[in-house]
Structure 1
Amino acid sequence: MRDNVKVIIAKYTENIDWVDELGYDYVVYDKSQNPLPNSRHLENIGREAHTYIKHIISEYDRLADMNIFLQGDPFDHIDDRGRATVKTLRKQLADIVDKAVPFKGLAWFKLKCDRLGQPHDLRKPENEGRWSGWGRDIPVGEVFERLFFETMPKQIIARAPTGNFCVTGRRIRTRPKAFYEHCLRLIECDPNDEKNTGHAIERLWQHIFNGNTAWNRDSYE
């Protein structure tokens, strides 16, 4: 699997010079006003969830065996002491790739949350203005049920709460392409994330990629 790995970077204005040091093939989706040469430019909507789902849809039939989805600056989320480096990340990824782990969140922590995304920090005064959806709950339950047409459990464990994770192409394709197109429509209905749809999907990556084909539908119209 080491020879068929793709790193997918969701970039805005971050410095991503570090990505070459990972040693894997990569693609950069740039949502800034001055996109990097050779990057794929996207409209700045929907947080990294929009970027990742766009990649999955466009590459669905030719996804890498292992897909590493990363934000433009993932390092604060990898180590609880704030000391993560490219070397730290490279070592973590090498282990996941060697073991062909179907899905793995890269954050140092996991979150247990309810259908309103609680606990969350979207009402903290110090975060006011940081996100369009500040002051609102995260509609985890609503988005879960619109994605899977199943009732969300009372609580779930978010295993990739920072939007940095690895997932195999095989696990991605346990859901049809139409599912991801459905997911993209949900995101595009909340382009500025004022309702926190993107935040909700960030709590649901492990369910999107859990391989439960019983949740798939014949149609997502």
Structure 2
Amino acid sequence: MPGQVFGSLEAANVHEGIGGPSVHRRPTNGRSPFYPGTVKPPEANYSRVLVLPKLKSEHVGWISEELPGLQTAIYEVDNPSADYLVPKNKGHEAMVYLTYIIDHYDQLPDTVIFIHSHRSAWHNNFLLDLDTPTAIKRLRDDRVARLGYMNLRCHLDPGCPNWIHLDRAEVDFDQHLKPEEQHFSFELFQAMFPGHRPPPVLSAPCCAQFAVSEERIRDNPKSLYEHLRRWLLDTLLEDKDSGRIFEYMWQYIFTRNAEYCPAMNSCYCDGYGVCFGNAKKLEDWLKKLRIRELADEELNGAQKDKKDKTVIDEISDRIWKLNQELNSEKADAYRRGEDEKNRAIERERIP
């Protein structure tokens, strides 16, 4: 469910410049509201673009191999002769994302997908085999249009809930799990969003890969993106730190929700057509997966300790049965997700 909305009507929708003038159709609590966007009729096509940063040394051939025909905007940030250029290679993916929006603000496709250059990563979705092409192929544009903004990661941890505290005493910062928290402050937030009331907490699933509708991008004036890019160019923070700050600001930029932690089952089902039926059934599947993982560890230990063959066979048989159940239930979820009625059942309610 969307988190709390902060701000004032005057700051967001009346002032010229960074915060205005308002382009919102229906102001809610003085901020850009989280309300349904315009969804096309069933089976209608949505135009798309894939936006990503890369280094010259990074291979992205998987895009043309797995996603032929998909429009791309690939920013080779360490190549001054690249087709797509940034003012400065700074802030990791944030500079690329903002630059694309600024340069294409008046000519956007229906869905803009912002991703990293790697094909597979730990922070991709497990039920999509951690595979970026699979996620992009299965991504449902109608959900992006409806919500306006969709984090591509369905799993909430790390990042949700109750993650980055702007109101926390410095002595209580979590330097192990959240080293970036020390760089967040009310002053930083106000510098990035002049006139906006700073929230006490920022929360969103990691890791700065998301899809945004054309409509939602334009819910913000172009001047806001220009201001944020100028902040990024001027900040004295290290590259990794300024990029991480944006990682927990995107949900605010595109929803005006400081905390935005959608239900995992809604994300998987409505977003990718992987429908277990409800949140509990998905949680049950994940618990069974964890049992299988523990059994894998048990088997490795037994083999390392050269346990009796009967012990190893018993563990192996247990793993085989768990895998059969997991694969069958996953296949059922994929089939269930092909039906719009099933996707609608797990779709979260939005105002």
The TM-score with structure 1 as length reference comes to 0.74
Q: State the superposition RMSD in angstroms.
A: 3.1
Flag the 1:194–1:3 CA change in 2: closer, same or farther, 3 A: closer
- Is 1:58 equivalent to 2:109 in the alignment? no
Matches within 5 A, 1:102-113: 102-110=148-156, 111=159, 112-113=163-164
Partner of 1:6, secondary structure, is strand
| Per-residue CA distance 1:155-193 (angstroms, 9 max, x = gap) | 22224x211100011101111111111001100013773
Query: How far apart, CA to CA, are the structure 1 residues paired with 2:223 and 2:252?
Result: 16
Flag the 1:200–1:120 CA change in 2: closer, same or farther, 3 A: farther
The amino acid of 2:196's aligned partner reads E
- Is 1:9 equivalent to 2:60 in the alignment? no
Matches within 5 A, 1:23-42: 23=68, 24-33=70-79, 39-42=83-86
Hey, what does 2:234 align to over in structure 1?
A: 189
Gaps of 5+ in 2: 1-43, 258-351
Partner of 2:196, secondary structure, is coil
Within the candidate set 104, 109, 125, 1:79 is matched to 125
Partner of 1:40, secondary structure, is coil
More divergent stretch after superposition (112-121 vs 26-35): 112-121
Flag the 1:143–1:83 CA change in 2: closer, same or farther, 3 A: farther
Relative to its length, the structure with more strand (as a share) is 1
Contact 1:50 1:184 in 2 (8 A): yes
Query: How far apart, CA to CA, are the structure 1 residues paired with 2:198 and 2:154?
Result: 25
Query: How far apart, CA to CA, are the structure 1 residues paired with 2:239 and 2:132?
Result: 33
Query: How far apart, CA to CA, are the structure 1 residues paired with 2:177 and 2:239?
Result: 11
Specify the structure having the higher radius of gyration (Cα). Answer: 2
Hey, what does 1:198 align to over in structure 2?
A: 243
Matches within 5 A, 1:1-221: 2-12=45-55, 13-20=57-64, 21-23=66-68, 24-33=70-79, 39-42=83-86, 43-73=88-118, 75-76=120-121, 77-80=123-126, 83-93=129-139, 95=140, 97-99=141-143, 100-101=145-146, 102-110=148-156, 111=159, 112-115=163-166, 119=174, 137-139=182-184, 141-148=186-193, 149-159=195-205, 161-190=206-235, 193=238, 196-210=241-255
The amino acid of 1:113's aligned partner reads I
| Per-residue CA distance 1:33-62 (angstroms, 9 max, x = gap) | 486xx6313332221101110111110111
Runs of 4+ in 1 over 6 A off after TM superposition: none
Flag the 1:39–1:120 CA change in 2: closer, same or farther, 3 A: farther
| Per-residue CA distance 1:125-179 (angstroms, 9 max, x = gap) | xxxxxxxxx8x823264443223232322222224x2111000111011111111
Gaps of 5+ in 1: 125-133, 213-221
Contact 2:62 2:119 in 1 (8 A): no
* Percent of residue pairs bearing the same amino acid type: 26
Flag the 1:203–1:123 CA change in 2: closer, same or farther, 3 A: closer
Partner of 1:10, secondary structure, is strand
The TM-score with structure 2 as length reference comes to 0.49
Relative to its length, the structure with more helix (as a share) is 2
Count of residue pairs brought into register by the alignment: 197
